[in-house]
Structures are given as C-alpha cells and as structure tokens.
Amino acid sequence: MLQDRNVLEYWRKFTAYCLVILLFSILGGRYYWLMIASHQKYAEKATSNHIREVPIEAPRGVIFDRNGKILVDNKPSYSVSIVPLEIRRRPETLTLLAKILNTTVDELKKTIKRYQRGLFVPVKIRGKVPIDIISKLQEHNLELIGVTYTIEPTRFYPSPVQLTHVLGYVREIDTEDLERLDRETYQPGDLIGWKGVEKYYESYLRGTRGYRYEVVNAYGQEIGESDWRKPIRPVAGENLHLTIDENIQNIVETELGDSSGVVVILDHTNGEIVAMASVPGYSLEMMSSLLTPDEWRKLLMNPRKPLYDRALQGLYPPGSTFKLVAAAYALENKTIDPKKTVLCKGSYRLGTRSFGCWKEGGHGRVDLEMAIEQSCNVYFYHLIQDIGLNPWAEMAKKFGFGQLTGIDLPDEKIGSVPDSKLMDRKFGVGKWTLGNLLNFVVGQGEVLVTPLQLAQYAGLIAERGKSTEPHLLKYVTDAEGRVVFSYKNERHTDLVLSDTTWAQLQNGMYQVMQSAHGSGRAARQKNWPLYGKTGTAQNPHGENHAWFIGFSLDPDLPYAWAILLENGGTGGGKAAPLMGAMLRKISKLKAPQILKQSVVK
C-alpha cells in the first residue's frame, strides 16, 4: 500500500513538472514568435503609430499642339488634407477649419466620407488653396490637429485657346468611382482624366505616385521627415503632341465668339484635326478643381448646355449638305442623265401634301450640277423616287454616316440613317410613306449626323473616296523627349466610285462657291479655289440651323471643314460668310503666297 502511494506521488510530481515545462515552452515559443520571427511586422506597426505615409502626386504629362506650343501644363499649388482619426478625437477642429475655408462642417464631413480610404490616411478636402488661407492654417497650427497642407501639381492652361471639349478635364476619384477602376492603380482622391483627351489618353498622361514619410508626435502633428524610411519619388506622366494648330484654333474660336455652334477643320489627306471648337464651353481651370454643388448645378442647368460637345455628341439634321449622297448614288448607278432637267416652281406636290423649295419663286429648269450649285430641293424630290430608300441609305452609310468616325475622344455618337427596317420599327410595316423619303433626301426627318461626320464626308469627297480616320494625336514623348508612340492611321474601307462620279460631285461643289448663283459664294476666296455645300436644317425647337461644309485641294491648305450655327438661319446667309472669314485669316496665316497667285480655273 505504501508502495502504491509512492507511485501516485511520483506521477503527480511528474505531471506537474511536465505542465510547468509545457507552459514555459509555450511562453518561450510565443516570445520567439513576437520578438524574432515577427519582429519586422510589429516593428513596422509600432513605427506606423508615429510615421505618417503622405502620397506625392505625380505630375501629369504636358499636352502640346502640333507646333510644340503648350496647351496644358502643370503648376504647383497648395492643397489641404485631414487625417480622419484626428478629427474624430477632436471634432472642434472641423468647426475652425470650416470657418477658415469659408464652408460648412457638413460639407467637410461629406468630402471626408466621399474620399476616405482609412483612418490614418490624409483625405484631401480642398485644392488650389491660396496662400492667405495657408497662412491662416499656419497661425492656428496648434488648434488644427490632423490638418495638413501640401504642394501638389495641378493643371494649368497657358494657351490663349480654350479647346474645352478636346482637352477635357481631370477630377478626383471618390469611393464610388473606385468600384469600377483598378484599385492597385488608383486611390480615392487621385486625379483621373474625366473628359476629352485627358480621359482617352489617361494611360499615357498619368504618372506614378510617390510617397514621403512624416514623423508625427502624440498629438498627431507632423514634426519632420522620417530618417529611416526614404521618400519614393513620383514619376511624371508622358507628354501628348496633338494635331491641333493653336493659331488656327484661335482664329476659329475668335470668329465663333458667343455663338452656339461648332467648327471642325481637318487635313483630308491624313485625318489630322487642326481645329475643333464647340461653343459655348466652360472653364477648364474651374473644372480641374473641386467644384461646389452650386457651381456644378449651374453648369448642368445652363440652357446653352456648355458641357455638351456638339462636335461629336450633337445630333442634327444635315439639311441640304446631304443631297450629295443621292447625287453620288445616281451618278454611280446611272439612275439619271445628269444633264436632264427638272422644272422647279418653288414646291412639289405629292398627293395632298406640298413640299417646298427654299426659293419660293422656284429655280426654273435645273440639271444635277445646277441643283447642287443652287441647292434646289425639288430636283432631289424627283431624284429620290428614282433611287429608293434602302439604296440611298446604303450609300449614306458608305460615306460614314450612322457609324462612329473612330476619333480618339470618348462618348462619340453615331447618328441615324433611316432605312426600311428602322422605319418599320418606328411606324409599323407599311405605315410610312413616300413623303418620308422626300424629307430624307434633303437631310430632314430621321436623318441625324454629327458635325464631325460631315467634316469627314467633305474630306472623303476631296480625297475621292480615300478614307482616313479623324484623330487628334500625332505622337507621345517621355520626360526626355523620346518618342514612345506615334499615331498610325487605321484606314477605313475606301469608298470606291468612278472617277467620273467624283469629278461631277467635286465640280458641283466648285460651282456652289464660284458660280454667280452658288449658295456658298459668300465664302469665296480671292485666288484660292474652294469647294462647298450649304445646308439649312429645319429645327422644331426654334430658328433653323445653318450648315456649310467644304474643302480645299491646295496642297498648302489641304483642309476639309464643317460649320454649324445653332438657330443661325440659312447656310448660305450665315454659316458660309462666317466660315469664309475664318478661311481668309487661315490662308493669310498658313499660305500668304496664294494671295499673289492668279485665280486657278
């Protein structure tokens, strides 16, 4: 029995020793794990309590015109940020900050919520802050715990031209935007191209952000840069060199003035856009900073729609500029004898309806060339009945209508070319009439185009069907000036028509400009032969829209253009004279020698 007790006592002691050893082993292992194996991890956590990571925005790439003139640059400016955790601890800070920034506490809270990405990461609440505000922040430094200000690059527009819708603007990303972006590349508060070439070429323009590491005290105040965490330098974005000619753009914008309208001028030999203006526009300086709700509301509610890019988003009936589509089909397919005449008495009766010509007294007898020259509606009312809807629609699509031009800008619209399928869907099978075709042939009804499409159309006639893609980029360079990308013109399918057809179309457009009765004669230039076509588009919401398209075959001035004046009246009376004034200044600027030449017959 004594022996059994000794054995029991032995096992009790043994178990106790084992438990003690086990406990010390666990403690030792945990100590090893914390102090040795995980030293780096917890050292960084401890450091992060007094080291603040501050992002350094990378400068975006500079944007130049075709001649190396700066259109968009960067300049340093102050921005104010808040560390959310510090504000939670000291809510009175927001009250003082709101007073200094001339805003409300609620607006500051909304901004913090919109851009916050952590309690310790500074949230930018105001950009482009003037120096007097920075001075006030510095005066109240001890009261504004968690409020910091930094210098960052912001967009700057040194050029005299606006180019509002071409250049576009940048804006800050919020948490909602981040849901559809690459989270490894972007963070809330980052700048991103939102419109225009800033958006389309974001991947080139955007640089790589850097970081600096600030030591903060127990009160959250920055007391200096960290010695052991070296700053990471930002990498600037790459530079865009556009096809835009600042001098020609300036002429266009100056002549357009305060009109509501569009001008597109492109080089028809290669598709390079040398000028493109949509007015009214908006201030790029204003859009590149944080807008107040009131400022944004005023832009949205402006009845003249300054945010609307009329050049590639505006859909308008093209009016008589579209008559050349029917002429091209008829000439190519020998639908009519171009010398055959039609009597225009000022209107055409179809059943019980009367379809008017713009000249109430009529043009008398006109053949195809005269009908183009004088823009006679009645001639084309007859012609479309010989062609039919679907063949006409197919020819319109071959000219690029009803499809994207492929321009390197976002949000382009395709327009509308009605065919029998579209009309059956809209009105029902057999419920549309021949009267619809009479509207279509003169560019009315369901026919809708963009000004850019009409400029491309004019260029296609100038090049006799050789297709080029309208574009704004020439090439991209890095910070050292090395070319890293050059635009390659991806040709669309060329429009193959006979030389005779092209010659007759061009001759008709020549007579529009040079004939005594030509509807575009107000744009005629001395010693510079031009080709054109006017258009007056009916507008159910007000005055007619005025169109004028055309081109030059001069090798020094190989331009095609389209001008639209919203509610401007007639193409021949308003659009053509204004375009003529622009062309006079452009020729004086780009090719003064033509003023000394004799008229080319």
Q: What is the pLDDT of residues 423-467, one digit of tens each?
A: 999 999 988 999 999 999 999 999 999 999 999 999 999 999 998
Residues 110-165 have pLDDT tens digits of 888 888 877 777 888 888 888 899 898 888 888 888 888 888 888 999 999 999 99
pTM, whole model, 2 decimals?
0.85
The burial class, CB within 10 Å (0-12 / 13-18 / 19+), for 68 is: exposed
471 by DSSP, 3-state: which?
strand
Q: What is the DSSP letter of 272?
A: B
pLDDT in tens, 501-549: 999 999 999 999 999 999 999 999 988 999 999 999 998 888 999 999 9
Mean pLDDT of 239-250: 98
Please report which confidence band the pLDDT of residue 601 belongs to, taking 50, 70 and 90 as the band edges: very low
Length of the chain: 601
- The Cα–Cα gap between 363 and 379 comes to 10
Calculate the CA 406 to chain-centre distance: 13
Q: What is the residue extent of each domain of the chain?
A: 2-37, 51-238, 247-293+309-596
How much is the pLDDT for 598?
38
Judge contact between 391 and 402, C-beta under 8 A.
no
| Single-letter amino acid code for the residue at 279 | V
Question: What DSSP string describes 140-185?
Answer: TTTT-TTEEEEEEEEEE--SS---HHHH--EEE--HHHHTTS-TTT
Topology, domain 51-238: Penicillin-binding protein 2a (Domain 2) (3.90.1310)
Element (DSSP H or E) covering residue 196: helix 196-200
In the numeric block, which tokens belong to residue 238?
């790459």
Coil vs helix vs strand at 485: strand
pLDDT at residue number 61? 96
Tens digits of residue pLDDT in 259-287: 999 999 999 999 999 999 999 999 898 88
Under CATH, what is the fold of the domain 247-293+309-596?
A: Beta-lactamase (3.40.710)
Say if CB 202 and CB 192 are below 8 A apart: yes
Which pLDDT belongs to residue 599?
A: 42
